[in-house]
Amino acid sequence: MECYHGAAKRQRVSTVEPSALTRLANIDVLGHLATFLEAGELCQVRATCKALGSSDESAFDGLSMAEEAARRIFESASDDEKAMLPRHNGEGWIELYHHLLMLRARLTFDQLLGRFVEYQEGDKAAVQGSSDFGTSSAICGNHVMRTGKHWATFIFGREVSGCRSVGVIRPLPGWDQRRLEQFHPANPIFWEDLRRERTSRWEGDVHFCQLYHTGICWYSNWEGTDRRSDWEGVNNYDKRIGTLGMLHDLNSGRLSVYQKRTKSGHSEGLAGWRVLLQEKQQQEKQQQAVPARGRGLKGKNLVAMRARKAAAGGRGDKQARKEDGSGNQGELIVYV
């Protein structure tokens, strides 16, 4: 009897679920629901049943209903947003939807590499060294920038001694889970592992570029070339100024430095995916970490420090746009 009632109960439940799924398995309903979901949550929806996750149906040109919902959300984005996110070969619409959400989101240091860097009062937009010894890095790994011009403003804590630096680096997915004691991309002991992260979206042979508060700029291809760069305009750089603006043009591969909204100089040859990074002994707080909307920017994967974004032509970006023109395609991330 107990088994019978259990079976009847299961039967009653099963008679309800198909109708609920039938109502959900409507592209208009799912499309509306998807606007409230993160990309990972939409992936979970896709996995709930064949009707939502199967790509066998011909109604959406071979896409699953979940992928079609993500495609419609992306296509409804602004022209500026879509221009910043060109779709790569083989890239799914849910993945592209994820990058759209990241483009709109507050910029944060999502990856801390090494045990000598920590968030400032729990704020992921601000990091600081946790010790006077050792080298660590903070990376804005979730915010991939593919094309257009990307602007970020960094504010350095004046009370902090030691090295202070910011720069761009290739994306390093999962590296924050390695529990490294220390990390710096210029250290040759990491180069072999770093090269294994290479994808077809990497362009050029400069895989990380870093500007120190002293005005010294270093870059590397992680294969033996690790050298100082005599960047154009270094004589205009004032190391006493604690606020630094950076504009990365992914098309031209140019990384420009601004102080007091005036261009100090630039470095060439940066193409392919990158991210922003920071070192351990500096206390960085990015007031604007702003990927300015625009066209261009070469390289793939750019991430920045801080918490706030602005559209191209926003504060601090007008003069930068006048001087640097359009950019190329790619993706980068910010490193400190």
**Mean pLDDT, residues 257-269:** 68
Tokens of 212: 């120190």
**The domain boundary residue, chosen from 40, 74, 104:** 104
Q: Which residues pair with 233 in a beta bridge?
A: none
Structural domain harbouring 124: 111-335
- Write out the two tokens for 11: 């039967």
Task: Look at the chain and report how many structural domains it folds into.
Answer: 2
93 and 158 together in one domain: no
Instruction: Check whether residue 212 and residue 291 sit in a common domain.
Output: yes
169 and 296 belong to one structural domain:
yes
**Tokens 């140019």 sit on residue:** 254
Of the candidates 204, 180, 184, the residue with the CA atom closest to the CA atom of residue 331: 204
User: To the nearest whole percent, how much of the chain has pLDDT over 90?
Assistant: 12
Do residue 130 and residue 68 come from a single domain? no
- Spatial separation of the C-alpha atoms in residues 123 and 130, rounded to whole Å: 15
| pLDDT: which is higher, 320 or 125 | 125
Q: What are 9-55's pLDDT values in tens digits?
A: 444 444 445 545 555 566 777 777 777 778 777 777 777 765 565 65
- The residue with greater pLDDT, 166 or 262, is 166
Model confidence band, residue 288 (pLDDT cutoffs 50, 70, 90):
very low
What does the block give as tokens for 331?
């993706």
pLDDT at 192: 95
Eight-class DSSP state of 159: T
| More confident call, 232 vs 249 | 249
As a dihedral over the C-alpha atoms of residue 205, residue 109, residue 87, residue 152, rounded to 10 degrees, the angle is -80
- 302-326 pLDDT tens trace: 333 332 333 333 333 433 333 333 3
Q: State the first-to-last Cα distance of the chain, in angstroms, to the nearest integer.
A: 67
**Proportion of the chain above pLDDT 70, given as a percent:** 62
Those residues whose C-beta lies under 8 Å from the C-beta of residue 118, and which sit 6 or more positions away, are 112, 127, 128, 129, 130
For residue 59, the model assigns a pLDDT of 59
Range with top average pLDDT, 69-83, 150-164, 281-295, 301-315: 69-83
- Same domain for 98 and 116, yes or no, is no
Residue type, 322: K
Which position has the higher pLDDT, 79 or 261?
A: 79
Residue in 218, 6, 183 with CA at minimum distance from that of residue 111: 183
